[in-house]
Chain A
């Protein structure tokens, strides 16, 4: 089978600092990739390159046969991106906002309009469809963002911390959504720090640290090679340079001196 995402010798630097060092990846349709790594490992940079937001990289990136460098718009058409910490135009209502997104994807307005209402209703936002989003809770905004990434029926869905702010029921919905989309042959690129979710949702886990892939395989495969335990433990084993308990102790001890003074 042809990979839907192909990265070959991907390098990216900001000034003298190398952020991505020779990333090589083949991702196949229908895979749910858990892309994890500590803060500053290069996750966001990879995602931004993949979405066509960042240029100036070395190496090749091909998405569904389209060379990202040659035709970034072509890639944007088939990728749905749900960014972390994204702003919305919150003076708009969700319907207005999604109509704008649909317009930018040049969807037929009639089809878009029907789809928007269906999706908002499915997420339980039918009562809020015509309210300005500046009154929305974090979870409601996140739902609108998720819809904005799905609206044009993309082949590849890139999710950056998609569960942030969602209530427990919505989390179940999104997890179910991911597995149903994957069953339809969509590829999901899932970035998160929530190891328990990644462990359950993803069928392939890629761990990146300091710009290099340090582990790649299913959770079971990682357990086999790195010892039994949760993904959290495997993550810490591969990426933590200091004792994590020690860090917590020094945080607490920061109060100590002041207390002694008092």
Chain B
């Protein structure tokens, strides 16, 4: 275990005596958690690596990168202290951003850990009870999430200590820990509840849709809070002017801090009680009500249950007569040039449609895009009457934002396509006579484009023409082509690997969502550049030609990815 993990391990075990009374076997929990963290530091060997040459253990660059990103996020969170007139408002805005970010990371990067079935056969035949295993999983998530929580909190902590003193800092630290526990347990409780009330077979197909809905709910709530309190005099208002705010968890923690620092009357203690009750209560609900029978459910999800299901009755069973006539085959014929590329295309298409891990990592991003789209439409409608803000729906800006942010989904898909729990099955790519791995990778890339880019592109084209008229076409071409170029660049700069051929590493997990956001910043820059030329049709046309040329060259480059590059990516 590296030093960071060891420290975090000790930290999350602090409230352990509390758990003991609830039926968790503490010594087993410690053992499982210690081993899990130890294993997280060791990278599994893949085919490309020389046998018996384990990599150095320690803090990876990816971990440091994630921590830096979270720290930058923490600095940005200081903006909260410029909004509103009192501390309740400042802290409400801070906890809003804090809880939202944690919830997002939990949903996209960590829920697959909760229902990870890989070690069922190792742990479950041993005399370990449900509560201990579930708690070990949640503590494991907590340790990894701490790598984001701590750097995210530190800038604000320093600010609070500096401006308001030691007690203010300590109470902030206490409440932030409670808020983090609240987020971890509440989000996971939602999944456990769904797992409890649904049959395992239904759960498997439902979970990705649940994730999308959950993201829309959480992110919608976040945006609602921000919108409802968005005012011109943003420095002069108090959150207390909005009675609805009291129903939102960020307010509870903020008001608890205010009471602890003597800013509220004696009745303010209610907020401290609410904060504590919400955090410990969510833990209690998880351990007491949701943990029992958790393992039995996990075993059923694993497929040992479904292997005996009457396959002929299953919806996705392939009808022999209809083979080769599906949308996947049709698209494969259309966009691939040879058998190997076609194989890559079809494999990725089918695997991403059926693999739970992939769906759980990528589908939630659909939720964000849906909320963004709704926001743009709502904001556009509202701004027609608001003379002071730019007329959003008629401006180029609105449409460009619309066009570029949709690539959040395809970017996440590209970043996740090579990650799989069953990465060892990728031996098929190594044992078959493939001259250039790029062909397979390009097939897989095209399949992701067809699945996560093409539908949106069609919506954008149809919607764009309906919204702006035929004149939008040059800008549509440029925007869509730019998206392709950006995606190709992201693929070429990232790990060059076959689909489903690399292990998902715990240490790298919390960075996925943050990296997706960073990529979105890059895309935002492209959108801004596009905005400047939007009105000059000749320039747009010229840039479109250049962009398409670049896209074509990049596609060729992807197809030429060599074995040496794939092997190098694997050993990095």
Contacts and interface: CB of A to CB of B under 8 A. Distances in A.
Contact of A15 (B31, B304, B309): B309
A135 B35 contact: no
A14 B54 CA distance: 42
A243 to B, nearest CB: 24
A52 B51 contact: no
A28 to B, nearest CB: 23
B28 A103 contact: yes
Given A16-B310, A17-B309, A91-B39, A77 B127 contact: yes
A146 B27 CA distance: 25
A53 B297 CA distance: 10
Given A81-B125, A106-B28, A132-B42, A92 B35 contact: yes
A89 B39 contact: yes
Nearest to A90: B44
A87 B118 contact: yes
Nearest to A52: B125
Contacts of A104: 28, 31-32, 123, 126-128
B532 to A, nearest CB: 51
Given A48-B299, A51-B125, A19 B308 contact: yes
B230 interface: no
Interface string B210-231: 0000000000000000000000
A31 B308 CA distance: 29
B45 interface: yes
Nearest to B39: A91
B122 A87 contact: yes
B390 interface: no
A45 B303 CA distance: 12
B129 interface: yes
Interface string A97-128: 00011011110000000000000000000000
B306 interface: yes
Nearest to A18: B308
Interface residues of B, number: 39
B124 interface: yes
Contacts of A132: 42, 45, 52, 54
Given A87-B119, A104-B31, A134-B44, A53 B124 contact: yes
B45 A134 contact: yes
Interface string B292-329: 01001001100011111110010000000000000000
A26 B194 CA distance: 39
A129 B2 CA distance: 22
A40 interface: yes
Contacts of A134: 44-45, 51, 54
Contact of B44 (A15, A73, A77, A91): A91
Given A79-B125, A89-B39, A106-B28, A135 B52 contact: yes
Interface in B306-354: 306-310, 313
Contacts of B52: 131-132, 135
B201 A15 contact: yes
B121 interface: yes
Contacts of A131: 52
Interface string B124-153: 111111000000000000000000000000
Contact of A105 (B120, B126, B304): B126
B302 to A, nearest CB: 10
Contacts of A100: 31-32, 35
A193 to B, nearest CB: 16
B125 A91 contact: no
Contacts of A246: none
B296 A56 contact: yes
B119 A73 contact: no
Interface in A17-55: 17, 19, 40, 44-45, 48, 51-55
Contacts of B28: 103-104, 106
Q: Among the interface residues B35, B122, B123, B310, which one has the most CB atoms of the partner chain A within 10 A?
A: B122
Contacts of B35: 89, 92, 96, 100
Given A81-B125, A92-B38, 10 more contacts: A14-B309, A15-B201, A48-B299, A53-B120, A83-B125, A87-B119, A91-B54, A96-B38, A105-B127, A132-B54
19 contacts: A14-B305, A14-B308, A17-B309, A48-B299, A48-B304, A53-B299, A54-B299, A54-B305, A76-B127, A77-B127, A83-B125, A88-B122, A89-B35, A89-B39, A90-B44, A91-B42, A91-B54, A104-B31, A134-B45
3 closest A-B pairs by beta carbon, nearest first, are A91-B42, A104-B126, A76-B127
